[in-house]
Structure 1
């Protein structure tokens, strides 16, 4: 039973304090006060909270995860989008990224410079504006797609910049930001490193086109995490998390997340910035046990000194 429901149900009953103590002792975990805004995903805690997305939101908030990201938000029915936004507002949660539908993929590469591909991308941006308004979102993920290998790399880069400028023109009047995500999933992907993404963002030259620095992907593609975060910091607007190898929660791989989180926290506080940290990874263990282990991993990784 969640803490808020337990307190409500036992309020005013004789022996409530004793009963509450017993119930809290068996609760999954007390609410945590994290230093950074970690954004969990639907399904990450479904063994503890059930399959209903509203119940999952309540569980996230109870555990101290005060943000959400949902890659597939654009594909959800309008009624569900509105219900999610309403509950998040009630809980005081913040919306992180969702993925722009057909915002660039292997079959729709912006590097090709083809009108039909650009039109698909721009239509996705227009639809994303409506979804963002509905769910109180600011950021949306864009991946430019694959290389167009019959074109010189400079021409491909120019094509990507041109397309993203047009997307930014759609988003900027609404205060929205597309965050470009360099990925490690395939060597065919055009966008691979943080410095390349930095170059493109500077070329687009819009506050509506920034970097999504996925720590898992960048550990695989380039390493030197703190150095590269420092070098591209001015264009980073969003972070995502996953340990390497395995793309599971922090503490399960080789990345020293306590140090990475401390660097981001210290620099953000110094500069008056704030980031959502998307938990875009799987659980290393199955079931409720795995969900409890995930929470403990974030408690540990967030325990850096300030």
Structure 2
């Protein structure tokens, strides 16, 4: 190659690099990479991508759709005004997306399922009845009811019996509507000491005892890793009772690839087993701002099954 050709080709390469850099910067600024749909039904929560997607809930959903997400979830949906719930649902349906879980009843103070306190149990059932209407509004069948604290005044087996009894009542309310309560185990080691439901074997035994299609497990990879580990064997054993997945890396409870969990292997494993359900993004973002959120988006591309 002669000197003039070398200089000309070098200049062209530099120009191409500059254009590529400008495009990357533009994509980072706008938050729009217009990637293809994810194979896994990753389901963001509001405000995880607030710097890229904007503050408005509808703008965030539209941004998610532009970037390959085809599902959404919102833990505290029930606290939003009905008009906002309707606005979210309309946007989801217009974009051909799906809405996943929301919480129907929640407490981190009372032994809501483990005790026999009638007033508390009546409140739970009122929340459950209200959640039916919310689920219809959102066109979803997944309702996450948190089982609350354990009851230190009762032997463990009494607590289990009380919880199973209440879960049967909830299943009876949900079954005619085709709804599914998902129950999540929450780790004692870092985040939620004292919670009644904290291991997958415990949740599995309770689901078997209730024996209803309207009661299943929510397998939060973050919580299970901290409390129990042995993720894929645990998934396999409890597989027939698992209806919903959530992810967050450990330690730190941030996006996948920021901790110790091999999400490439875990998600490929459940995908190969035939799972096509929701995978909720139940975590924070490790690095602040648009750049941190963009890295999280790239991380999800890297763990999407093939």
Whether these two folds match at TM > 0.5 is yes
State how far apart, in whole Å, the 1-side matches of 2:207 and 2:228 are. Answer: 19
Partner of 1:130: 133
Secondary structure at the aligned position of 1:110 is classed as coil
Superposed displacement of residue 49, structure 1: 2.0
- 1:290 equivalent in structure 2: 292
Q: Does 1:229 align with 2:235?
A: yes
Q: In 2, Cα distance between the equivalents of 1:105 and 1:123?
A: 18
Name the CA distance, whole Å, in 2 between partners of 1:226 and 1:263.
8
Number of the residue aligned with 2:280: 278
Unaligned stretches of 5+ in structure 1?
1-21
The total of aligned residue pairs comes to 279
Deviation of 1:108 (Å): 4.4
Query: Any runs of at least 4 consecutive aligned residues in structure 1 with deviations exceeding 6 A, and if so which?
Result: 22-25
Query: Which of 209, 221, 232 is equivalent to 2:215?
Result: 209
TM-score by length of 1: 0.88
Query: Could you state the TM-score of these two structures normalised by the residue count of structure 2?
Result: 0.88
User: In structure 2, how many angstroms separate the alpha carbons of the residues matched to 1:78 and 1:108?
Assistant: 29
Kept after mapping to 2: 8 A contact 1:69/1:278: yes
3-state SS of 1:112 partner: coil
- SS at 2:273 equivalent: helix
In structure 2, C-alpha distance between the alignment counterparts of 1:101 and 1:267, rounded to whole Å: 31
Question: SS of the counterpart of 2:243?
Answer: strand
Task: Give the conservation status (yes or no) of the 8 Å contact 1:74–1:101.
Answer: no
- Asked whether the equivalents of residues 70 and 97 of structure 1 are also in contact (C-alpha less than 8 Å), the reply is yes
CA contact (8 A) 2:145 2:181 kept: yes
List aligned pairs for 1:1-306, cutoff 5 A: 26-27=26-27, 28=31, 29-102=33-106, 104-184=107-187, 185-268=191-274, 273-302=275-304, 304-305=305-306
1-side partners of 2:23 and 2:299: how far apart?
Answer: 23
Give, in whole Å, the separation in 2 of the partners of 1:101 and 1:111: 14
Distance in 2, Cα, partners of 1:155 & 1:249: 38
- Structure 2 distance, partners of 1:188, 1:198, is 19
Conservation of the 8 A alpha-carbon contact between 1:32 and 1:299 = no
2:8 corresponds to: none
Q: Conserved in 1, the CA contact under 8 Å of 2:111 and 2:196? A: no
1:6 aligns to what? none
Aligned-CA RMSD value: 1.6
| Partner of residue 18, structure 1 | none
Task: Quote the Cα distance in structure 1 between the aligned partners of 2:148 and 2:59.
Answer: 35
Partners of 1:76 and 1:33 in 2: CA distance: 28
Superposition deviation, residue 105 in structure 1: 3.5
